[in-house]
């Protein structure tokens, strides 16, 4: 932990990224308190107002306050991205570790994963959303299914390596059962790369969910999300550029911040990079 804090303090960009993530989490947790207006309230008299003291981020084509919708959009983004991370990691880790440990099921499970990885994640999510329909749970499932393949591949490769280590052979020779070996001795030794993968999954799933919303197949349009805000404001690009500027800026900064934090975690946890940061 001390090494990680030292790296963060040394890398000012990462420190700014973590501060921005903290801000987004703060927005998500206290959205009802921080938003000056109801994000669903439509006011025709305030339609397409520019940045002002009354509306710091302006208003949209329905007269809704952009800042209030940005704040509630942060909550939507956090909930959906955390859901994708939990779903993809839980399923991906189990499939990966059991595929790597048991040869009998390895061929079938990993060939299914290979077929799924042949298609871009966004395309898989688009197909699944057209089947499931538009809702928050369905978006989490669609995007989570498209990203669990990467987690499965990573865990599968790590399990193949760890299960051949001497200490695993020693436990097996002592009569330790397979499930105990998997959950007590293998999984704890691969938790670091799983955590790093979780940060990258969070960032890219947020980007994919915003793309689904923008294309009109993600969350229902009445739910305030950054992708929906981009979709609704795209036709007012020239007349009201703030409709796209603020949600787009928050999407870019949030994805960039999580990527920077993931890079820092990888550098701190991976022994191959640790020797390069000993002087930090």
Token code pair at residue 54: 């009354």
Q: What is the pLDDT of residue 7?
A: 60
Cα separation, 203 vs 17, in Å, equals: 12
Q: Is 62 helix (H, G, I), strand (E, B) or coil?
A: coil
* Of 130-134, 142-146, 248-252, highest mean pLDDT: 248-252
Token code pair at residue 44: 């025709």
Could you give the percent of the chain with pLDDT greater than 70? 91
Total of domains in the chain: 1
The CATH number covering residue 221 comes to 1.10.3720.10
Q: Is the pLDDT of residue 214 over 50?
A: yes
The answer to whether position 50 is within a domain reads no
Token code pair at residue 30: 């206290």
Q: Which domain holds residue 206?
A: 2-35+58-277
Q: Is 17 helix (H, G, I), strand (E, B) or coil?
A: helix
Residue 40 CA from chain centroid, whole number: 26
What mean pLDDT, rounded, does the chain reach? 84
Q: How many residues does the chain have?
A: 280
Q: What is the pLDDT of residue 146?
A: 83
Cα separation, 35 vs 277, in Å, equals: 42
The answer to whether position 133 is within a domain reads yes
The answer to whether position 197 is within a domain reads yes
The answer to whether position 53 is within a domain reads no
Residue 210 CA from chain centroid, whole number: 11
The pLDDT-based confidence of 250 (bands split at 50, 70, 90) is very high
Q: What is the pLDDT of residue 3?
A: 57
The answer to whether position 44 is within a domain reads no
Q: How many CB atoms lie within 10 A of CB 199?
A: 21
What average pLDDT does this structure show over 171-197?
85
- This prediction has a pTM of 0.84
Q: What is the pLDDT of residue 5?
A: 61
Q: How many CB atoms lie within 10 A of CB 195?
A: 14
How would you label 88-105 residue by residue, b for 16+ Cβ within 10 Å and e otherwise? bbebbbbbbbbbbbeeee
Q: Is the pLDDT of residue 4 over 60?
A: no
The pLDDT-based confidence of 105 (bands split at 50, 70, 90) is confident
Token code pair at residue 264: 């820092």
The answer to whether position 45 is within a domain reads no
What average pLDDT does this structure show over 172-198?
85
Phi, psi at residue 59, to the nearest 5°?
Answer: -130, 165
The answer to whether position 192 is within a domain reads yes
| pLDDT, greater one: 7 or 265 | 265
The answer to whether position 225 is within a domain reads yes
Please report the DSSP string for 108-174 in residue order.
HHHHHHHHHHTS-HHHHHHHHHHHH-SSHHHHHHHHHHHHHHHHHHHHHHHHHHHTTSHHHHHHHHT
Q: Is the pLDDT of residue 173 over 90?
A: no
Token code pair at residue 76: 């939507």
Q: What is the pLDDT of residue 125?
A: 84
């Amino acid at each position: 932990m001390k090494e990680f804090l030292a790296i963060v303090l040394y890398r000012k960009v990462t420190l700014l990224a973590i501060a921005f993530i903290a801000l987004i989490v703060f927005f998500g947790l206290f959205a009802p308190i921080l938003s000056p207006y109801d994000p669903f309230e439509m006011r025709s008299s305030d339609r397409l107002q520019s940045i002002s003291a009354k509306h710091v981020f302006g208003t949209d084509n329905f007269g809704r306050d952009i800042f209030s919708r940005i704040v509630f959009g942060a909550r939507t983004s956090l909930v959906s991205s955390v859901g994708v991370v939990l779903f993809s990691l839980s399923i991906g880790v189990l499939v990966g570790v059991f595929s790597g440990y048991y040869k009998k099921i390895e061929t079938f499970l990993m060939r299914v994963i290979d077929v799924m990885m042949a298609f871009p994640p966004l395309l898989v999510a688009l197909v699944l959303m057209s089947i499931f329909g538009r809702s928050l749970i369905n978006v989490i499932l669609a995007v989570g299914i498209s990203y669990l393949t990467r987690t499965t591949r990573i865990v599968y490769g790590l399990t193949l390596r760890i299960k051949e280590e001497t200490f695993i052979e020693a436990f097996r020779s002592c009569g330790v059962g397979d499930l105990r070996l998997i959950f007590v001795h293998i999984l704890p030794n691969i938790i670091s790369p799983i955590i790093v993968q979780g940060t990258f999954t969070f960032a890219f799933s947020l980007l994919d969910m915003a793309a689904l919303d923008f294309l009109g197949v993600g969350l229902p349009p009445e739910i305030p999300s950054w992708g929906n805000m981009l979709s609704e404001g795209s036709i007012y690009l020239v007349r009201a550029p703030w409709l796209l500027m603020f949600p787009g800026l928050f999407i870019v900064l949030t994805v960039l911040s999580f990527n920077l934090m993931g890079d820092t975690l990888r550098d701190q946890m991976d022994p191959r990079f640790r020797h390069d940061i000993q002087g930090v």
